[in-house]
Each structure stands twice: as structure tokens, then as C-alpha cells.
Structure 1
């Protein structure tokens, strides 16, 4: 299989990712996944089809899933940090609503796990300022920062993410192609620590996703901060209103052409992703376009709205049920935090032993 993929011109990371999928199907229990989000607002459809759906898939296969709510990383977003507790709860509700099962997966927060954050100091000693500075994810965060000045915390992101991944010795991290440099620095930190102090950490692999790119309602990248997304928690009426205002183009005949007609193509893709066949397979955006034909943008938006609302109905219903019992919600977080704390304490003890009292 690897040879075939290489002849297709796929990258080494894609070849490795395909092999990992084979290994997961054979024995999912050998893998531990770390993934997560910053609590900066409710998750949206771009998140769902981009990463969330895949997390639940891995969990259901039997992979040990750790889902991090990266509340410490919000300290650079001071306008959001004021409502941090509310955002943490919202994020937890979104996770539970999409199917993350607290009986099989671990949901936890940065701030609850001191030992995780203590790994940041030795990890920072293993990387140079230049390595942190040229990380493309850091550059992107700085470029899109809404602050007049960027805090030093921004530069610790790659090392802090390494601590997130390595504290629980995760050996698999689902990422997009653009996040590979971020994960490579984690691998570098693990390798340098092991070389200097003795083997403690795995070098985690990237599991590349074939996540579809969904545009926001304004035709740009879907983002919480841009106000162009459809939250998983949005009501059916809110969804209809947002999609009614979605950008399309002046051509009446609807066709799937991601290059020439990106906004229309993104809406068609969204409808297709939401329209499940009886076999469990998604329909193609080309098929959705053919059914709409010359009916125009209004018919397209109607189709997308109906598809999204039907798809999200059970997710929204589960979210509403969990939201009724805040005590249960808090207990789920406490349980996840307790497990993460135990693992982090054990890892930190190993690190201190390996460093022979240097830390």
C-alpha cells in the first residue's frame, strides 16, 4: 500500500498517516490521542467536520482519547478571558453533544493540571528562541492577534503544546497539514529530552485528516472571531438566518466548482456532508448541485439550511439535555481533571528522576 501511495506523489506524512490508519484498525488500544481547543467561544460546523467528527470516530474505534480545554492559552486573548468559565462550560457541552463519551475519553483543562504546566520549563530549555520564532503557527497567531503588542506567552505555545501532548505520553495527534511543523517541534523536544536524560517520552505521530475546508458565510475562512460561522449550538432559526445571508455569486445555475465558484462550492459541500445516505456514506456535492440545477441561490440556501438543521438536530438535543444538569457537567470535568492530574504527576516524577534532581 505504501508503494502505491508514494507513486501517487503523496507526502511522507500522508504515507505514514495511511499506515497509522491501518494500525488503528488492527489494534486501536495501542494508541493514545491528544487533541483539544482553546475555549474562545462555541464550536462551529467548520470545527465539527474539520476535527470533532474524527475525534469521535477514533474514540468509537477504541483509541484512548484525551481532549484538552486549553484555558491557559486564552490568557493572550484578554477580551475573552473575562468569560473563561462560561466558555469552558460551553466547550464541554459541545464535546458531549457531538458524542465524546466521558466514560471512554478524558476531558480536562490546563488550569486543573499543575504538573502538566510544570513541564514547560524543562521543555523550553530544549529549544532555541529561533526555533520558537520561526514556527508558522506562532507567526499566524501573531499576524492575526488583535492586540497592540504580543505577549511572551505567545512564543511558548509550541513548547506548551508539547507539554500537552507529552504529559500523557500521547503517541498520536490528529492534525492538518499546516500543523505539521508544530507537531515536529514536539517530536524534537521529546527526542532531545530522551537523548539528554534517558527515554521518557514517545515521539508522537501525526494523523493527517482529509478534513474538508468550509468557508464562512462571508466567503472567507470560517472562524469564531470573524463572526461568519454557524455554531453547533445555534438554533434552527439562527441557522436559517445566517445561511440566508451567506455569500454566493450572480450565476443562477448551481454547479460545484471550488476554483471558480468557491462560495457556492462550500455551501454544496456543507449540504453533502450533512446528507447521509442509508449506507452511512455522504452524498457528493456534485450530486447536490445537479439536483438544484437552475433553481438558483435561494434553492441552494434552502437545501443547505434543511440539511444542516436535520443533521444538527440530535446534537442540539443532546446539548440541551446536558445543559439542564450543570452539576453533572462539573462532575464530568472533575473526573477528567483527576485522571489527567494523576497521569501528569506520574510523568513529572519520571522527568525529575531522569533529570537527577536538576528540576
Structure 2
């Protein structure tokens, strides 16, 4: 097999890759330590933080979202942290031609938020498209980054590779800058993220620093936001693969109890009737035990021992009852909200107004720093 790459070039590429990996490891270690410090600060005094987080309205939220991020948002809100919760409707069209029934999906998302315990009196829920001043920040921010910096972003790279080489939309290429605008428009200084999202946040920090240096003469217009690394519980779908709307393997928060039972009946297990918690050797069984543990607050090993020789049927029955019991009050609240859609619309309207006020003030400050007040 021939190659156009010389040995020297190959060694150089390997060295660059190792250097990148080493830098990522150091960044992760730093983020882990900083997150621990922030958690201690949150427990002592949460008033110095403003959190920005959110979701794309691509379909109803499911158990993976609930265990991965939603519970943590409610926790931060209840600690007293000021929270901005974004419905990222513009981001839906970064990687698809059709946004689908976007209006209904936005309402479904807000309904799910309220049902799980997000309190609009303490958390501002708003939509991208309703806050023009936020999106206008994209223009000066784009002047602060290079094409190569954007193309190196892991999410941009992954989406491009997954497309099979399809031409990338300008919105997808600039997706990391849009995320920076989301965080910085409200001067968010804390962003709950998983470790895979650290590169996004690092670019936001770069943009904040470059703006302050280039346009504000070193004055701190924008903060340098910190990552709050989430101790997210990652659960698999009923087919044993990543829980994903597109795979139809999810347990939606909005499902009925019968629908939940039907979905879990499909769950993959194995032929061993003795139930044990063995994440490496029996990942599908362990996943169901983990779901049951999260729903009940119990240890998965203890649950496995209780089910004993009940086999996959006994395990699925236990998990179904645990999920339905835990989600029952959330689903009851959701039905109440669905019966009064005007209340959901009003929450979003007020959140949009609040976010627009904040964004307008930030944009005015940006214009003054850039000497663009005419």
C-alpha cells in the first residue's frame, strides 16, 4: 500500500495529536478541580452566579434528558442560582433542512420544563428567535474567530463527518459562536456541561477575552464563564443503544404509564435469569438496574439482589413500576399544563421579554465599547 505522507510528516502529525490530547487532559483536570470549588461556593452563596443552559426543540424530552441535565437544573434553581433557560429554536436548523413542527415542539419543551419543576419566577425561559439583540451579538463575535478555529471544534467536525461530506451550512460552521452569544448576552458566568462540551465553552472564553482586549481596551465587558461539570447519569435506550429520539428507543416524560410499560417490555436483557449488576459484562441489564436505582434512590446492587432469579421479566416489571411511580407527579402536572396552553405561552412571553431586556442592555454596552453609538 502506497502513501503520500512522508515518515517525517507522519511523526509530526502524531506529535500534534498527542499534544492536543495532552492539552485536553490538562484542561479537563483543571475543569474538574474548578467545578469542585464552584460546588462549594454554590452551597455557601449562590448569588454570584448566573447560569445559561438549554435545549434544541427537536422533540419531547425523555428519561435520558431528565437524568442527564434536567434534574440538575432544578437543583441549581432551588439552590438560588439565577438561571437562564434557552429554547434554542434557531439551532434546530443548523444541521437539517426542515425544522419540523417547531412551534408545537417549543411549547412541548416549555411544558416539560414546567412539569419537572422549573419555576418561571426564578428561571427565565426564552427562545432564540424572540431575542434579536442576542443574535446581533453574533456579528462582532464572528470578527474575533478564524475559520480554522471553527472547523477544529469537535461538534462541527463530528457533524460534518456524519454528513458524509455534504456541504456545511454557514449556521453549522458558526454554531460555536452562536453558543458564545447565548452565554455572553446575559453575562452568564457558569455553564453546566459534560466534558465533551468543554471545547465549546473554551471558545466562548476566548471570544470574551478577545472582545475585552480588542474593543473594550481591556475593560471586562464580558466575564470568562466557568464550566460546572455535571455528574450526569447516562442511560441507554430500550434497545441497548444511546437513548435518542431518532432511534425511537426513549422513555418520554410525556408518555402514559401504559406506553411506558409497552416501551420497557421491548428492553434488551439477556438469557441469564439471575439478575446481577455488572455494567461491563451485562450492560443492558445493568442499564435497567441503573434506571431503577435513579428512580427509587436505591443501590442497583441491592435492587438486583431483590429481583434475584426473576429474570428479565421480573427486572422489567420492577423498572416499569419504579419509572411510573417517579414520573407520576410530573405527568400529572404536565396534563394540567396541556389543558391550559395559554399559561405555557404566557411563561414563554414573559421570559422572552426578560431576555430581550437583558440582551438589549448588553448590546448597548457592546456598541458603546465599539464606538458604534450614532
Bin of the TM-score, shorter chain as denominator length: over 0.9
Per the TM alignment, residue 151 of structure 1 is displaced from its structure 2 partner at its CA by: 1.6
RMSD: 1.6
Deviation at residue 76 of structure 1 after TM alignment: 3.2
Counterpart check, 1:323 vs 2:323: no
- 1:62 Cα offset (Å): 0.3
CA distance in 2, matches of 1:266, 1:303: 13
- Listed as ranges, the gaps of 5+ residues in structure 1 are 1-9, 276-281
Residue matched to 1:161: 179
Seen in structure 2, the aligned counterparts of structure 1 residues 146 and 44 have a Cα distance that, compared at 3 Å, is farther
In 2, Cα distance between equivalents of 1:146 and 1:314: 44
Q: Which stretch of structure 1 is more off in the superposition, 191-200 or 46-55? A: 191-200
Highest Rg: 1 or 2? 2
Map of 1:183-194 to 2, 5 A cutoff?
183-194=201-212
CA distance in structure 2 between the partners assigned to 1:80 and 1:304 by the alignment: 36
- Is the contact made by 2:95 and 2:172 (CA closer than 8 Å) also made in structure 1? no
1:123/1:32 Cα in 2 relative to 1: closer, same or farther (>3 Å)?
Answer: same
Q: Distance in 2 between matches of 1:170 and 1:249?
A: 46
Deviations 1:186-240 (A, max 9, x none): 1111111111122210010000111111001111111112211111001101110
TM-score, normalised to structure 2, is 0.89
| Among 165, 169, 181, the residue aligned to 1:151 | 169
Quote the residue 1:267 is aligned against.
288
Give the match for residue 46 of structure 1. Answer: 64
CA distance in 1, matches of 2:349, 2:152: 37
Q: Secondary structure at the match of 1:11?
A: helix
- Contact persistence 1:40–1:80 (CA under 8 A): no
Following superposition, the deviation at residue 252 of structure 1 comes to 1.7
Cα 1:138/1:346, change in 2 over 3 Å: same
Corresponding position: 1:103 with 2:121 = yes
Q: Which residue does the alignment assign to 2:258? A: 237
Q: Does 1:21 align with 2:36?
A: no
Give 1:79 deviation, angstroms.
Answer: 6.1
* Displacement after TM superposition at 1:133 (Å): 0.7
Cα distance in 2 between the residues matched to 1:123 and 1:229:
37
C-alpha deviation, 1:140, in angstroms? 2.6
- 1:132-151 superposed matches below 5 A: 132-145=150-163, 148-151=166-169
Deviation at 1:295, TM superposition (A): 1.2
CA distance in 2, matches of 1:147, 1:135: 16
Q: Which residue of the partner structure matches residue 357 of structure 2?
A: 342
Provide, for residues 16-37 of structure 1, a one-character-per-residue CA deviation record: whole Å limited to 9, x for no partner.
1010000011111111000000
Query: Does the aligned pair in 1 maintain the 2:279–2:286 contact within 8 Å?
Result: yes
Q: Quick check: 251-260 or 135-144, which moved more?
A: 135-144
Residue 293 (structure 1) shift = 1.5
> Which stretches in structure 2 are left out of the alignment for 5+ residues?
1-27
Per the alignment, do residues 306 and 181 of structure 1 end up closer, same or farther by CA in structure 2, a change over 3 Å counting? same
